[in-house]
Amino acid sequence: MDLEATPKRRRGKDLEDAILRAGWELLLDAGYHGFTIDAVADRAETSRSVLYRRWDDRAALLDAVLTFGLNQGRRDEPEDTGTLRGDMIAALQSANARNSAIAPLLSVFMGEYYAASGQSVADVRARAFGDRAGRSLRIILERAVARGEADPARLTPRVRTVATDLFRHDLLMNARPLTDEQIVEIIDEVFLPLVAPARA
């Protein structure tokens, strides 16, 4: 008997996590076109039937893999540096480190998926993060208001997200991480002037 060819004995969450991790790695390596049930099963060292017992088809598996992958490395609470400027720079630097590897996936490799499904990057993010989308930013802004660094009257929906929107735009359009200088420019030149309390 060829022990190398025998699927690993994993069950429950261990098995599901192994499949999702294998699917995520495959998506990063091969893009949407290379993401197939057979390829995921091979990489996870399991069988097609194991995957089909959990997900109805390729689309359902892909949704689960995207949710799994996009949540890797996310913090439950944003860093508290003591200032709004420091908090926002730290948040964008963390997102930069976490997301730079997947920017080509979301902006280029997934083109076929967006065309076939009618989904967008925003739809993928909303499904992956659910109610947690924007939670870190809300916490950062609440701290800033409490410290008197941000004027709540100026925190319109557009202003609240302008820094993260600019960050995502640059990341997706260029498919490479931003420099620290670019992150500081977004915060100092655009975000802080919009949210700071008006001077007497």
Last residue of a domain, one of 39, 69, 99: 69
- Residue 8, number of CB atoms within 10 A of its CB: 10
79/23 same-domain check: no
- Residue 48, number of CB atoms within 10 A of its CB: 13
The token pair at 181 is 């200088």
Q: Are 48 and 107 in contact (CB under 8 A)?
A: no
Secondary structure letter of residue 2 according to DSSP: -
**Rounded average pLDDT over 97-112:** 71
Q: Are 171 and 125 in contact (CB under 8 A)?
A: no
135/180 same-domain check: yes
As a whole number, the mean pLDDT across the chain is: 86
Residue 60 maps to which CATH number?
1.10.10.60
Q: Are 63 and 127 in contact (CB under 8 A)?
A: yes
**Do the domain assignments include residue 200?**
no
162/181 same-domain check: yes
36/114 same-domain check: no
pLDDT in tens, 147-162: 999 999 999 999 999 9
118/147 same-domain check: yes
Query: Could you give the number of structural domains in the chain?
Result: 2
Write down the pLDDT at residue 3: 42
26/103 same-domain check: no
Q: How far apart are CA 190 and CA 16, in angstroms?
A: 43
pLDDT in tens, 62-104: 999 988 988 887 777 899 999 999 999 999 999 898 877 677 6
Give the domain extent around 173. 75-195
Q: Longest Cα pair distance anywhere in the chain, in angstroms?
A: 82
44/86 same-domain check: no
Write down the pLDDT at residue 69: 87
Is it the case that residue 8 has pLDDT exceeding 70?
no
Tell me the DSSP string of 114-178. Answer: HHHH---HHHHHHHHHGGGTTHHHHHHHHHHHHHTSS-GGG--HHHHHHHHHHHHHHHHHHTSPP
80/64 same-domain check: no
Last residue of a domain, one of 69, 97, 118: 69
Last residue of a domain, one of 36, 69, 102: 69
Q: Are 17 and 25 in contact (CB under 8 A)?
A: no
101/139 same-domain check: yes
